[in-house]
Amino acid sequence: MLAVESMRLTFEYLGRATADGNDLEARQAMMLAAVYGGIAMDQAGLGMVHALSGGVCSHLHLHHGLANAMMLPEVFEFNVDAIAADRRQRISVLAGLEPDASSAMLVAAISRLVSGLGLPIGRQTRSMGDAVDWDTVDWHAVAEESMRMVMMDNNPRTVGLDDCHRILASLRG
């Protein structure tokens, strides 16, 4: 219940809160979304997004929230077909789609949420320029470190090392 309300508030208010820091209604809603999301994560655990973000953050010195946002569309695409039908329908409605939206439409909605904030996703991460030295990272080490994270066991779909490599490769362009 808390996770669903966190998602609802995020889809509704995140764009407003980031576009206008003086929008107190949106900022309050996002504060609640963060609290609800934090409680939900504590109770349910985390998955592939956070496991991959940990390694990416440590090797690229990125903010954890940015790394999570960069990972979210790719990992959601990886997981979407493993999400129970009733949950997918709820997420679809929260994202402004019809309950029976296709996997592709749902992935696109998640991608729009992230890119609508001006954050890079997928191959766009290369646009971060000199701030990130993509070519000196030991990507195999990042994938291996991610696989050792216990939170991978909470992922809706079983994750292998090759899956980590593929998602990390999508970020490198």
Question: Sign of the CA dihedral 83, 88, 90, 93?
Answer: positive
Over the stretch 72-108, which tens digit does the pLDDT of each residue have?
999 999 999 999 999 999 999 999 999 999 999 999 9
| pLDDT at 143 > cutoff 80 | yes
The Cβ-side half-sphere exposure at 8, using a 13 Å CA radius, reads 11
CA-to-CA separations, 137 to 56, 92, 131, 168, 172, in angstroms, rounded: 9, 36, 13, 11, 10
Residues 6+ apart with CB under 8 A from 116: 15
Is pLDDT larger for residue 139 or for residue 136? 139
Per-chain mean pLDDT for the chain: 91
Rounded distance, CA 96 to CA 99, Å?
9
CA-to-CA separations, 70 to 21, 35, 64, 98, 161, in angstroms, rounded: 22, 21, 10, 25, 19
Q: What angle do CA 139, 150, 37 make, to 5 degrees?
A: 100
Q: What is the mean pLDDT of residues 28-56?
A: 95
Rounded distance, CA 121 to CA 77, Å?
12
The alpha-carbon radius of gyration of the chain (Å, integer) is 16
Rounded distance, CA 125 to CA 173, Å?
8
Reported confidence tier of residue 130, pLDDT bands at 50, 70, 90? low
| pLDDT at 117 > cutoff 60 | yes
Q: pTM (2 decimals)?
A: 0.90
Reported confidence tier of residue 137, pLDDT bands at 50, 70, 90? confident
CA-to-CA separations, 44 to 11, 99, 127, in angstroms, rounded: 21, 24, 34
